[in-house]
Structure 1
Amino acid sequence: MEFGIVGLGRMGGNMARRLAQKNKKIAIMNRSFNVTEALARDTGHMACKSYADLVASLEKPRIIWLMLPAGEVTETALSTLLPLLSPGDLIVDGANAHYQDDALRAARCAEQSVEFADAGVSGGVWGLENGYCIMFGGSNAAAARLKPYMEALAPTPMTGWLHTGPVGSGHYVKMVHNGIEYGMMQSLAEGFALMKDKPGFDLDLAAIAELWRHGSVVRSWLLDLSADFLVEDQALDDIAPFVADSGEGRWTALASLEQGIPVPVITLALMMRFASQGKNDYAAKMLAKMRHGFGGHAVKKD
């Protein structure tokens, strides 16, 4: 056994489950050991209480896959892990880290002759059943070592995974992927909003979503998901109009500025998420007061 996963949240835990389904035994670790123990009982994987236990349980050269929040948590994990590892070991950052951080982390690892790879993972909660789409950056040697695990995690051994290039390229491609996702989601949401509020037609949004799934140029997994929930509830009255942003949309918008490449759809989709979080409220109040000031238009009070 050479492979371990640290971080058993929705993505990391289901990745461990999928590897178990593919008969690959691994070591697993989570901040909460009860989570680790429960998953080990379900999968047959080896439960580890600490980084030291995890490293000791794996044969050299080891592969340790981190599924941790970007930033300080990942930095702390690296600082704890590196003194425990041996030359030739490989660390994979499989979370949504910024691609520019990857080069710095790879340099830290190289000081101890430890390899580093970055992996962007898409598939969400459905990855366990359908397989994950994985884009990863690193050396050719690292790619060769990761190949059996990519083949197990992906939808098929031949599809759904790609060695995108050097360190950083995997997270960069995943960043752009998530930016595109923002734009696709926003356009679908806007289109259905137009149809919902069209007077006189009484449009069946669930039927339209199902129609578009077959032969339409806008058919997609996002449309499939929309069709499923619209069958249950078209009004969505119990859903708060608040949409969080994970950070990758921001990184994509910033990359467009750095590279001088216009991405208006992605950027506007990000702005709409900010607006849904109440970050447009003060600006809207300013607009209302200006309109009142020059035209005497009524101001609506909360």
Structure 2
Amino acid sequence: MKLGMIGLGRMGANMAQRLLRGGHAVVGFDPRAEARAALQEQGAETADSLAALLAKLAPPRVLWLMVPAGEITDTTLEALLPLLQVGDTLVDGGNSRYLDSQRRAATFVEHGIEYVDCGTSGGVWGLAEGYSLMIGGAEAAVERLRPLFECLAPAPGRGWGRVGPVGAGHFAKMIHNGIEYGLMQAYAEGFSILHHKQEFDLDLQQLAEIWSHGSVVHSWLLELTAKALAEHPDMHDIAPYVADSGEGRWTVDEAIALGVPAPVITHALIARLRSRDAESFADRLLAALRNQFGGHEVRKG
């Protein structure tokens, strides 16, 4: 199956490479010439425009988007729509919000174009280890794309599946990332407590390695924790600033809308927001209030 890949950032390029290694033909497009050149070195064809990309694919065409969620996805899809024809299939493998995927799918289905949303997990390790794929879309459309999913997944029968209609794939990935927030926060807090117990002079990387074998808290994230601690034992060279790409917020929004308590994921999100406030007005006001009612000392800053 010959696939058009749109978006050759690190993850898109790695997915294209994995497909190439699996014997699939790939034509890649990215507005950056250097990204196209890098993919060409891996043996793929490239195109310097969306129109040129489509011209290199025989109908019915399959196009896989790996672009950032939000406006750039909408802009790309708007540019693609007049170039597509009945029977073509679009796969959004980025981190789009499921509501956006449902909205977009409705537009493309009106034009006879299949729309599949694919929540994709695996990060920079997916090229070697395979990707976890949560897929939403019509059963027949997903089945047609089976060879691609089987190639990208860790194994043909493992790590991927159709989880429901359009929107379900990105919804599942959204919750997956919300869970990830909570897991990461738990590891971070636990290792922070270990770090502050100075009387034992604990080797945190050693503990992470020990827990990575036979422990009930073993996970791939713990293995990555051990790797991070080996590279940055004291974390002095890393700023305490944690970004978020949106999925945690959407997960908390959904929990509130459904009336489902999710305190761990919510706290993990708030902890990330808190990490960015180096000049916290709230903390300054708290100190001032303690001084007002109890005469407690206020540190000048």
Fold match by TM threshold 0.5: yes
Quote the residue 2:131 is aligned against. Answer: 132
Question: 2:95, 2:121 → 1: CA distance?
Answer: 10
1:17 corresponds in structure 2 to 17
Residue 163 and residue 280 in structure 1: after superposition, are their counterparts in 2 closer, same or farther (change >3 A)? farther
Distance in 1 of aligned mates of 2:139 and 2:258: 27
Match of 2:37 in 1: 37
Q: Which residue of 2 aligns with 1:300?
A: 299
2:76 aligned residue: 77
The count of corresponding residues between Structure 1 and Structure 2 is 301
Which SS does the other structure have where 2:117 is aligned?
A: strand
Query: The residue matched to 1:300 in structure 2 has which SS?
Result: coil
Q: Give the match for residue 271 of structure 1.
A: 270
5 Å-filtered alignment, 1:197-276, equals: 197-276=196-275
| Percent identity for Structure 1 against Structure 2 | 51
Question: Contact conserved, 2:2 with 2:24, CA < 8 A, in 1?
Answer: no
C-alpha distance in structure 1 between counterparts of 2:167 and 2:91, whole Å: 11
What code does the residue aligned with 1:102 have? S
The question of 1:285 aligning with 2:284 is answered yes
Alpha-carbon distance in 2 for matches of 1:215, 1:2: 43
2:133 match: secondary structure: strand
Matched, 1:6 2:6: yes
Unaligned runs of 5+ in 2: none
When normalised by structure 2's length, the TM-score is 0.97
Which consecutive residues of structure 1, in runs of 5 or more, have no partner in the other structure?
none
- Return the offset for 1:37: 2.2
- 2:195 pairs with 1:196: yes
Whether 2:172 is the aligned partner of 1:173: answer: yes
> What is the Cα deviation at residue 280 of structure 1?
7.7
TM-score, normalised relative to structure 1: 0.97
Is it true that 1:154 corresponds to 2:160 in the alignment?
no
Residue 279 of structure 1 deviates from its aligned partner by 7.3
Say if 2:134 and 2:173, in contact at 8 Å, map to a contact too.
yes
Aligned to 1:68: 67
> Take 1:225 and 1:45, find their aligned partners in 2: how far apart are those partners?
31
Which deviations, in whole Å up to 9, do the C-alpha atoms of 1:199-239 show, x marking residues without a partner? 32111111111111111100001110111222333211111
Q: CA RMSD in A?
A: 1.2
Give how far 1:295 is off.
1.4
- Equivalent pair of 1:25/1:44 in contact (CA under 8 Å): no
Any residues of structure 2 matched to 1:75-114 within 5 Å, and which? 75-114=74-113
Q: Which runs of 4+ in 1 moved over 4 A?
A: none
Does the residue aligned with 2:115 lie in a helix, a strand or coil? strand
Decide whether the 8 Å contact of 1:150 with 1:161 is kept in 2. yes
Q: Secondary structure at the match of 1:149?
A: helix
